[in-house]
Amino acid sequence: MFDLLDDQRQEFRDTLREFCRKEVMPGAARRDAEAEYPATLVSRLADMGLMGITIPEEFGGLGLDMVTQVLAMEEVAYADASLGSVFAGHYLGMETLRQFGSSEQRKRYLPGLATGSYRVAFALTEPDAGSDISRIRTRATAGPDGWTLSGSKTFTSNARESDGLVVFAMTDPDAGFRGITAFLVPTDAEGLGFSSPIEKLGIRGEHAYEVSLDGVQVERGATLGEPGGGGRIALEVLNSARIDVAALANGVAMRALDLATGYASTRIQFGRPIRELQAIQLQLAEIDTLVQSGRLNAYHAAALRDRSEDVRRAGSIAKYVASENCFQAVDKALQIHGGYGYVKESEIERLYRDCRIFRIYEGTSQIQLLTIAKLLAQLHDRHGTVV
């Protein structure tokens, strides 16, 4: 389909696809019903080297590119959106260390991240600080031996299942956005607490937590980047993460298309398969169009990222298009299933719950549009054109 998918990537995809459809898909409904964290499958992904796709080979990773990472995200999410979200959450934490860790931190942590023996979660969101991270209330105070962190985080995915947290805290409250610093905090640190998994509508196998920090002590070298640079780090990492979310959404939309096409081929009404009815044909064509446009935008953004280009605009467009298209695709697929799509036993019912989050996390659809509009104005003022 895409010129970007050369023979090497096709072989990579085929191997991962076989694993996902034989070993991930069969238990997805049960794991969803029981809100079971897919620990065994996470280990299997690690055994396949998939936790370090973009980690350089010198640190034990595969040394591949983000296009390949997007391809992997699609395949895993196609089989199970919960596992896909756990997978993407690993890359959110890992990318922070890969991009902004010191030379010493990269040598210390990237090999474990590549093998999956070390996991890092991303603790940014707070009850009063979502899209506006300048409202972060978690504080970090410098002392003679290190830093003391106090505050709380929410919706922190994979927190209890990880070995470390990338925690964003205010080190200079008067500086707002420029007063945020990023810290790497061990999850066994004294004073660090976790709630039970937050009950969610969908992606129930991916566990998210409230995290409390009550005088947590970390060494002075626990900072990632310079003090005051945490806000920029968060936004830079989220630029890449939005492409990952687009890939997850596309994987779910691809599954919805397959389910809708399969059902329309076997459901008989008026003496023939319903795919022969024009009303159904139009809906299937709409889903196909939604899927392909979402995928094209995600792969385009990933290719720009691999060329070290600015992906703020392309990443926001990819995330917006893919997440909105996924929701429409799943909704249309459920419509094709009729009443059977609305019952708990139907896979499309699970996809309907799973896909809703893509329009919210890593920046809502509205935040993506505001970002795109701001960048358009900057392009116009700088160049007199936006294309």
Residue 220: exposure state from Cβ atoms within 10 A (0-12, 13-18, ≥19): exposed
User: Could you tell me whether strands 208-219 and 223-224 are parallel, antiparallel, or unpaired per DSSP bridges?
Assistant: unpaired
- For residue 14, the model assigns a pLDDT of 95
Task: Report which residue type is found at 237.
Answer: V
Query: Could you count the other beta carbons within 10 Å of the beta carbon of residue 151?
Result: 21
Q: How far apart are CA 66 and CA 81, in angstroms?
A: 19
**Is the pLDDT confidence value at 5 over 80?**
no
pLDDT band at 129 (very low <50, low <70, confident <90, very high): confident
Query: Which alpha helices (H) appear in the chain, and where do they start and end?
Result: 7-19, 28-34, 39-47, 66-79, 81-100, 103-115, 230-266, 278-306, 312-337, 347-355, 365-383
Q: Which residues 6+ apart lie within 8 Å of 366 measured at CB? A: none
* CB crowding 232-262: b at 16 or more within 10 Å, else e: bbbebbbbbbbbbbbbbbbbbbbbbbebbbe
CA 88 vs CA 52, 132, 246, 257: distances in Å: 12, 22, 11, 22
pLDDT tens digits, 142-172: 998 899 999 999 999 999 999 999 999 999 9
pLDDT tens digits, 343-373: 999 999 999 999 999 999 899 999 999 999 9
The CA-CA-CA angle for residues 314, 293, 306, to 5°, reads: 40
The CA-CA-CA angle for residues 305, 307, 313, to 5°, reads: 40
- For residue 301, give both structure tokens: 């953004």
The answer to whether domain 7-119 and domain 232-383 are alike in fold is: no
* DSSP designation for 316: H
- For residue 30, the model assigns a pLDDT of 97
Query: Can you give the residue ranges of every domain in the chain?
Result: 7-119, 121-227, 232-383
pLDDT tens digits, 201-258: 999 999 999 999 999 999 999 999 999 999 999 999 999 999 999 999 999 999 999 9
- For residue 134, the model assigns a pLDDT of 87
Q: How far apart are CA 16 and CA 49, in angstroms?
A: 11
pLDDT band at 3 (very low <50, low <70, confident <90, very high): low
- For residue 380, the model assigns a pLDDT of 87
- For residue 66, the model assigns a pLDDT of 96
> What would the CATH number be for the domain defined by 7-119?
1.10.540.10
Segment 313-333 mean pLDDT = 98
pLDDT tens digits, 295-312: 999 999 999 999 999 999
Task: Report which residue type is found at 119.
Answer: R
In this structure, CATH architecture of domain 121-227:
Beta Barrel (2.40)
How much is the mean pLDDT over the chain? 95
* CB crowding 283-319: b at 16 or more within 10 Å, else e: bbeebeebbbebbbbbbbbbbbbbeeeebbbbbbbbb
pLDDT tens digits, 98-117: 999 999 999 999 999 999 99
Q: Tell me which fold the domain 232-383 belongs to.
A: Butyryl-CoA Dehydrogenase, subunit A; domain 3 (1.20.140)
Q: Which residues 6+ apart lie within 8 Å of 373 measured at CB? A: none
Q: What is the pTM for the complete model shown?
A: 0.96
pLDDT tens digits, 11-36: 999 999 999 999 999 999 999 999 99
Segment 57-79 mean pLDDT = 97
Q: What percent of the chain has pLDDT over 70?
A: 99
Task: Report which residue type is found at 139.
Answer: R
Q: What are the catalytic residues? A: 362
- For residue 257, give both structure tokens: 């298309």
pLDDT tens digits, 250-293: 999 999 999 999 999 999 999 999 999 999 999 999 999 999 99
pLDDT tens digits, 181-203: 999 999 999 999 999 999 999 99
Report the residue count for the chain. Answer: 387
